[in-house]
């Protein structure tokens, strides 16, 4: 990976698509919670839209304790979400998923060179993500994808460990111009990247190149970040502080 740099940017307050398993999406949200010292709110959004069938959202998504869960089918439900986010304590972290479910689809689609679309995939309303893009909004939007690419002007796209140049090109073609030449620059390194346990991430955050830039990243970093301090440990630390204050009075 000599010609590729490691990704060191922050996705906090940005729009990021995570292509992979549900555990990958949750790891990113958990890391953001840890970075924020568990302040603010974490929201799960299931965009069902016209979807009618399939396995639906994975059960593991509901094992996490969310501050609020929204199912978006109609416009008024999206407006309810907008109102909640506007009035919720900040920062707000949103995991946005389609109702199609399908764990493992990313690996299958990437391996077969499949396209980045799927049944029932719905675009995120522009009126929402544009409102959340304002820096003062303190909203981080994470798109959870198992291979499909729902419409949003993503600022970063994290690819799965199992990936191919064709899949990468198809995904980026839906987001940026010049994707073919961008992928060709790193195509020779795909084998090396996979062997090292790393994956690709595309970023358009403050990049001089209008096409964006491809970096490598270590998916395990999210897990490492989560282990720094868990919610239970944070509560325990606060209880210890309260006990010390009471004992000193």
pLDDT tens digits, one per residue of 32-83? 999 999 999 999 999 986 445 555 677 889 889 999 999 998 889 999 999 9
Name the most confidently modeled range: 21-30, 52-61, 92-101, 175-184. 21-30
- Residue 240 in any domain: the answer is no
- Residue 206 in any domain: the answer is yes
Distance of CA 96 to the CA centre of its chain: 8
> Which helix H or strand E contains 108, and what residues bound it?
helix 105-112
Q: In 10 A of CB 100, how many CB atoms?
A: 25
Q: Are 216 and 7 in contact (CB under 8 A)?
A: yes
Does residue 53 come out as left (phi exceeding 0), alpha (psi in the -120 to 50 range) or beta?
left
Evaluate if residue 103 carries a pLDDT over 90. no
pTM here?
A: 0.80
The tokens of 114 are what?
A: 């499949």
Q: Please state, for a pLDDT cut of 90, what percent of the chain lies above it.
A: 45
- Residue 238 in any domain: the answer is no
Domain residues for 78?
15-224
- Residue 235 in any domain: the answer is no
Residue 116 to residue 9: CA distance in whole angstroms: 24
Residue 141 to residue 134: CA distance in whole angstroms: 12
3-state secondary structure of 116: coil
- Residue 54 in any domain: the answer is yes
Residue 124 to residue 17: CA distance in whole angstroms: 12
Count of domains observed in the chain: 1
- Residue 233 in any domain: the answer is no
Rounded to a whole number, what is the distance in angstroms from the first to the last CA of the chain? 58
- Residue 234 in any domain: the answer is no
Task: Report the DSSP beta bridge partners of residue 97.
Answer: 46, 144
The tokens of 113 are what?
A: 């060179």
Task: Report the DSSP beta bridge partners of residue 72.
Answer: 47
- Residue 194 in any domain: the answer is yes
pLDDT confidence tier of residue 224, bands split at 50, 70 and 90? low
Does residue 223 come out as left (phi exceeding 0), alpha (psi in the -120 to 50 range) or beta?
alpha
pLDDT tens digits, one per residue of 143-183? 999 887 777 899 999 999 888 999 999 999 888 778 788 89
């Amino acid at each position: 990976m000599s010609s590729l740099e490691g990704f060191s940017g922050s996705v906090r307050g940005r729009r990021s698509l995570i292509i992979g398993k549900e555990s990958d999406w949750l790891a990113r949200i958990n890391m953001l919670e840890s970075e924020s010292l568990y302040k603010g709110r974490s929201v799960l959004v299931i965009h069902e839209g016209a979807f009618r069938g399939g396995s639906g959202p994975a059960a593991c998504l509901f094992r996490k304790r969310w501050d609020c869960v929204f199912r978006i089918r109609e416009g008024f439900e999206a407006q309810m979400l907008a109102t909640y986010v506007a009035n919720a304590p900040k920062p707000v972290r949103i995991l946005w998923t389609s109702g199609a479910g399908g764990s493992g689809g990313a690996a299958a689609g990437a391996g077969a060179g499949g396209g980045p679309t799927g049944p029932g995939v719905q675009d995120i309303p522009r009126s929402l993500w544009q409102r959340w893009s304002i820096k003062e909004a303190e909203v981080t939007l994470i798109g959870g994808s198992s291979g499909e690419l729902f419409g949003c002007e993503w600022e970063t796209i994290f690819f799965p460990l199992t990936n191919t140049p064709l899949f990468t090109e198809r995904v980026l073609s839906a987001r940026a111009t010049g994707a073919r030449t961008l992928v060709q620059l790193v195509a020779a390194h795909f084998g090396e990247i996979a062997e090292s346990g790393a994956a690709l991430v595309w970023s358009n955050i403050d990049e001089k190149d209008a096409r964006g830039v491809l970096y490598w990243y270590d998916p395990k970093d999210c897990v490492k970040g989560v282990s720094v301090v868990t919610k239970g440990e944070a509560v325990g630390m606060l209880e210890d502080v309260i006990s010390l204050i009471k004992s000193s009075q």
